[in-house]
Amino acid sequence: MSTRSYIAKEIGEDKYKAVYCLFDGYPAHHGIILVQYYDTPEKVDALLTLGGLSALGEKIAPDADFVPTEEQRFQESTTVAYARDFGDPSMPAEYFNLAQLVDNGEKLFANHLYVFTKDNAWKYLHLLGQSKTLQDLKSHPDVYRQIPLVVGGGTEEEQILAI
């Protein structure tokens, strides 16, 4: 069973560019990857340019030297896009207001919505929950426990001791 989601970027006053993602949309997966690997407007734009996604990965594209095989069609930790990887261009990024994103997510049985804001922060909404207010993704319990702490310079041990 898949955990569907929408990944969006705020591009104007109540205007969002969004793509649908079929698999692993829960915060402990998507939330961590989005916060750690898609943390700039340019990276989010590159992700949305792919259109609909089968799976979100840490890397947007496979390495240049990756050769698919029968056993491994896709490179591990790499985003899988319908247009690029399956030749199916039928799911381009779409434009919505927030109410449409929430409504469309519910119609497609999406569980989660992730929004990269104009302030370069990831927000989150559980579409099947009671609240319809975007929350800071970094504060989600499944995300903040997994994000590496960056306290300043020094070794990892020195950073941990500084906490």
Q: For the purposes of burial, counting CB atoms within 10 Å of the CB of 60, is it exposed (0-12), middle (13-18) or buried (19 or more)? A: middle
Which structure tokens are listed for 27? 């915060």
pLDDT in tens, 7-53: 999 999 999 999 999 999 999 999 999 999 999 999 999 999 999 99
pLDDT in tens, 129-144: 878 899 999 988 888 7
| Adjacent-strand bridge partners of 122 | 116
* Residue in the block written with tokens 């929004």: 115
Q: 136: number of CA atoms within 13 Å, CB side? A: 6
